[in-house]
């Protein structure tokens, strides 16, 4: 070989190991190290300032007493009459040039229905309407302690933003404080800090996890984010099962889903004990950090949305965070079954047979029905090792539930009427509504496999959401109260709602928080 060629070969050999792509998962370059822009701090007071931006919560067309001075009230009453504003729930009227205020927003809460919920929603909508308002903001309207705390919660959820990847022409939103006015300001602030602030933090955690791209949040980093969120919170125990530990336990279903990815699977168990030694409420969530469909590859259009296929696990972790940080008198266990479903050279194939840690066998007819597989092992693990009083699953499980319920409801499936009623009540209280769907006994017959105990889909259609729920429930002891909530239609908001800016919704955190506090 020519001397120059030998030298080139030696040089290439010397530098190759330092740049070998095989040593790097992903690009090795994070898309950003920035944080989200800051949100407005929330304060409480008994009297309102006479300038800035003012939000007045209105029950009807009559201006609440003592919220503004006489001259401003006269101008507002004239504007209300001219606009025929009636204060109906969800309505609003924006005004400028009145008194010393930069802007006055009249926000209707109505006279009927759940006033707490209406106050929360009106405040969340105001946060979005006033996002770019460069003034301090005041919210008033004759609010008592509970209403003022609800206003703070609504504003906190409504002002959420996910903007850490914006770099071109990025504008920093104003961070002047928002102040909630109430004659019971002290007790309202105590309620906010002891209860509602933690709930807002749990919702934000769920939204952040679901909104992050899959090159940032994958099983290992999901675990890191959740650990950081809990920090040193009292009475919390965190366990994480890695792949060698799951192999030792015989968890073939969660490992099978992740075997086509270079991102190793994890099972994260977060236990909070705030009520002594009683049996806990277990909550198990689907944590597919990206779902390509595996070998049963999804169409390319819209596949990006599968970065949020771990929303069930994210909301469960957000709910446990809320309960723990607010020192709720409950015992709960949150389980995130974490895998990335990719079509790599080692991916499982349609037709493969896998087994769970209990020894039950599954014929995998479609690798895109993977969420139910990871939850099979997670359900069996939490039942065997934690002995829960009841178990609730939450997952973006099926497109069929979207066809049935759109984005107005999540689908509820349960073998236990008492638990189903508790879930329904929690949803009604928090505005995260569920609709109970059937679990017919014939569904299990439809899912019988010719060569294994059960198959993961029924080819040719059928009641997909009910069949998926039946599969998930197959891995839960029939003596344990069990419910499954399919959130495939509600985990992502294509348009803004009262307390939900467009994007990851954090749906389920409030429902699970309320369920845990009231479940007996």
Q: Is 181 helix (H, G, I), strand (E, B) or coil?
A: strand
Cβ atoms 275, 330 nearer than 8 A = yes
Residue 327 C-beta-side C-alpha neighbours within 13 Å: 4
Which residues touch 113 (CB under 8 Å, ≥6 apart)?
89
Beta bridge partners of 288: 339
Q: Which helix (H) or strand (E) holds 128?
A: helix 115-129
Which strands form 52-58's sheet, in the order they lie side by side? 42-45, 178-182, 137-143, 52-58, 101-108, 92-95
Does the annotation flag 370 for ligand binding?
yes
Q: Is 171 a catalytic residue?
A: no
**Which of 298, 327, 386, 517 does the annotation list as catalytic?**
298
Judged on CB neighbours under 10 Å (0-12, 13-18, 19+), 24 is: exposed
- Phi-psi category of 102—alpha, beta or left, where left has phi over 0 and alpha has psi -120 to 50? alpha
Look-up: residue for tokens 């290439």? 12
The span from the CA of 258 to the CA of 82, in Å, is 62
Q: 43: how many CB neighbours lie within 10 A of its CB?
A: 16
Task: Quote the Cα angle for 124-126-128, to 5°.
Answer: 75
Does the annotation flag 513 for ligand binding?
no
Report which of 220, 254, 258 is spatially closest to residue 346, judged by C-alpha positions. Answer: 258
Does the annotation flag 325 for ligand binding?
no
Q: Is 372 a catalytic residue?
A: yes
Does the annotation flag 368 for ligand binding?
yes
Which residues touch 67 (CB under 8 Å, ≥6 apart)?
48, 56, 73, 140, 141, 142, 181
The span from the CA of 257 to the CA of 245, in Å, is 16
DSSP one-letter string for 443-495: HHHHT--SSSSEES--TT-S-HHHHHHHHHHTTS-TTS-EEEEE-TTTSEESS
Look-up: residue for tokens 């359900």? 379
Which residues touch 274 (CB under 8 Å, ≥6 apart)?
235, 323, 324, 327, 328, 329, 330, 331
**Which of 120, 263, 360, 372 does the annotation list as catalytic?**
372
Rg (CA), the chain: 26
Does the annotation flag 291 for ligand binding?
yes
Which residues touch 388 (CB under 8 Å, ≥6 apart)?
279, 280, 281, 282, 333, 382, 480
Q: Which residues are catalytic?
A: 298, 372
Which residue numbers belong to the known binding site?
286, 291, 309, 368, 370
Which residue numbers belong to the known binding site for Mn(2+)?
286, 291, 309, 368, 370
């Amino acid at each position: 070989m020519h001397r120059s060629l030998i030298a080139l070969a030696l040089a290439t050999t010397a530098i190759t190991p330092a740049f070998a792509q095989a040593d790097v998962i992903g690009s090795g370059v994070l898309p950003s190290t920035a944080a989200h822009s800051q949100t407005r701090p929330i304060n409480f007071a008994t009297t309102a300032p006479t300038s800035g931006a003012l939000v007045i919560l209105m029950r009807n067309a009559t201006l609440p007493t003592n919220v503004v001075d006489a001259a401003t009230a006269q101008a507002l009453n004239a504007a209300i009459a001219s606009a025929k504003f009636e204060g109906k729930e969800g309505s609003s009227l924006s005004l400028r040039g009145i008194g010393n205020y930069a802007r006055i927003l009249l926000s209707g809460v109505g006279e009927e229905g759940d006033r707490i919920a209406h106050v929360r929603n009106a405040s969340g909508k105001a946060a979005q309407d006033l996002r770019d308002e460069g003034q301090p903001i005041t919210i008033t309207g004759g609010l008592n302690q509970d209403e003022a705390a609800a206003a703070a919660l609504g504003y906190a959820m409504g002002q959420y933003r996910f903007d850490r990847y914006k770099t071109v022409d990025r504008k920093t939103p104003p961070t002047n404080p928002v102040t909630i006015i109430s004659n019971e300001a002290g007790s309202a602030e105590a309620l906010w800090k002891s209860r509602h602030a933690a709930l807002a933090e749990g919702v934000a955690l769920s939204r952040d996890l679901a909104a992050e791209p899959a090159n940032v949040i994958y099983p290992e980093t999901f675990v890191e984010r959740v650990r950081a969120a809990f920090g040193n919170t009292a009475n919390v125990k965190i366990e994480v099962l890695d792949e060698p530990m799951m192999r030792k336990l015989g968890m073939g279903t969660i490992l099978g889903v992740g075997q086509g990815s270079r991102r190793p699977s994890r099972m994260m168990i977060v236990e909070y004990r705030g009520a002594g030694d009683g049996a806990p409420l277990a909550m198990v969530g689907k944590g597919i950090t990206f779902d390509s469909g595996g070998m049963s590859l999804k169409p390319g259009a819209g596949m990006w949305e599968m970065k949020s296929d771990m929303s069930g696990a994210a909301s469960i972790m957000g709910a446990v965070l809320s309960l723990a940080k607010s020192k709720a008198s409950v015992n709960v266990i949150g389980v995130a079954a974490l895998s990335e479903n990719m079509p790599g050279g080692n991916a499982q194939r349609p037709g493969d047979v896998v087994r769970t840690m209990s020894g039950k066998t599954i014929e995998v007819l479609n690798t895109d029905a993977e969420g139910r597989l990871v939850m099979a092992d997670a359900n069996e693990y939490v039942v065997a090792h934690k002995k829960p009083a009841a178990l609730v699953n939450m997952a973006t499980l099926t497109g069929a539930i979207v066809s049935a319920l759109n984005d107005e409801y999540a689908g509820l499936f349960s073998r236990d009427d008492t638990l189903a009623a508790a879930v329904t009540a929690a949803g009604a209280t928090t505005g995260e509504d569920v609709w109970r769907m059937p679990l017919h006994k014939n569904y299990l017959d439809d899912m019988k496999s010719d060569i294994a105990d059960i198959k993961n889909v029924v080819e040719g259609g059928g009641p997909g959401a009910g069949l998926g729920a039946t599969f998930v429930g197959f891995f839960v002891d029939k003596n344990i109260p069990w419910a499954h909530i399919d959130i495939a239609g509600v985990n992502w908001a294509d348009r803004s709602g009262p307390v939900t800016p467009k994007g990851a919704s954090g749906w389920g955190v409030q429902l699970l928080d309320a369920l845990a506090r009231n479940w007996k």
